[in-house]
């Protein structure tokens, strides 16, 4: 990965909507080359997806998030991968991670209400045969999501003209 590649990825990571021509101006490389490189990133799985970070609180949609920690029992010829696959296929499940410590797997679950999330966990997750126990933590407020600060960010207080 050279500096040009890093530049393109950093620009898109900051704003996925930056057009190839603009990236060209910022990097000194032609727009066509940029397009080719982006295509390559997409095909190679370096760029997975272009998404928008929405603050649903501000939008007035009251989603409920919960972090669910799971203890699992591994069966013969069956690793964590198989369990993870069963978990991530649920639309309610927003993220699945294998973790170290007291628990084995951590999920983020999104629902319309606490009740809905609680039922989902009780009926769909806890009943899976590999799941030994679950521990549900409801999210009260999100301050920072994926590197983006969701509460008010601080402004650099600079004078308009300085030497």
Partner 1 sequence: MLNNCDPSRFLASKLENVPPSGIRRFFDLVSDIDDVVSLGVGEPDFHTPWHIREACIHAIEEGETSYTSNFGLKELREEISNLYLLRHSTHYNPENEVLITTGVSEALDIAIRTIVNPGDEIIIVEPSYVAYTPSVIFSGGTPVPVKTHVENNFKLVPEDLRSAISDKTKAIILNYPNNPTGAAMGKKELELIADIVEENDLLVISDEIYECLTYNKKHTCFATLEGMKERTILLNGFSKAYSMTGFRVAYALAPPEIINAMMLIHQYTMLCAPTVAQIGAIEALKYGNSSMDKMIREYDRRRRLIVNSFNDIGLSCFEPEGAFYAFPSVRSTGLTSEHFAEKLLNEQKVATVPGDVFGKSGEGFLRCSYAASTENIKIALERIEQFISDLE
**Applying CB under 8 A, which residues contact partner 1?**
3, 6-7, 10-11, 25-28, 154, 156, 158-163
Question: SS3 for 119-153, per residue?
Answer: HHHHHHHCCCCCEEEEEEEECCCCCEECCEECCCC
Q: Which is nearer to partner 1, 146 or 154 (CB)?
A: 154
Q: Which is nearer to partner 1, 29 or 64 (CB)?
A: 29
Q: How far is the CB of 10 from partner 1 (least distance, A)?
A: 7
Return d(Cα 116, Cα 110) in angstroms, integer.
9
Question: SS3 for 31-85, per residue?
Answer: HHHHHHHHHHHHHCCCCCCCCCCCCHHHHCCCCEEEEEEEEECCCCCCCHHHHHH
Q: Which is nearer to partner 1, 45 or 160 (CB)?
A: 160
Q: How far is the CB of 26 from partner 1 (least distance, A)?
A: 4
Q: How far is the CB of 11 from partner 1 (least distance, A)?
A: 7
Q: How far is the CB of 158 from partner 1 (least distance, A)?
A: 5
């Amino acid at each position: 990965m050279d500096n040009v590649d890093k530049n393109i990825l950093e620009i898109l990571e900051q704003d996925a909507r930056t057009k190839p021509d603009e990236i060209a101006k910022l990097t000194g490389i032609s727009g066509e080359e940029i397009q080719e490189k982006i295509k390559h990133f997409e095909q190679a799985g370096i760029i997975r997806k272009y998404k928008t970070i929405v603050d649903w609180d501000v939008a007035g949609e009251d989603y409920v998030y919960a972090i669910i920690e799971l203890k699992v029992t591994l069966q013969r010829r069956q690793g964590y991968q198989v369990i993870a696959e069963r978990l991530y296929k649920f639309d309610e499940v927003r993220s699945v991670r294998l973790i170290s410590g007291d628990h084995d797997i951590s999920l983020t679950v999104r629902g319309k209400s606490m009740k809905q999330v609680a039922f989902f966990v009780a009926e769909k997750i806890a009943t899976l045969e590999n799941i030994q126990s679950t521990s549900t933590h409801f999210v009260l407020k999100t301050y920072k999501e994926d590197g983006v600060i969701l509460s008010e960010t601080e402004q650099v207080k600079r004078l308009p003209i300085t030497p």
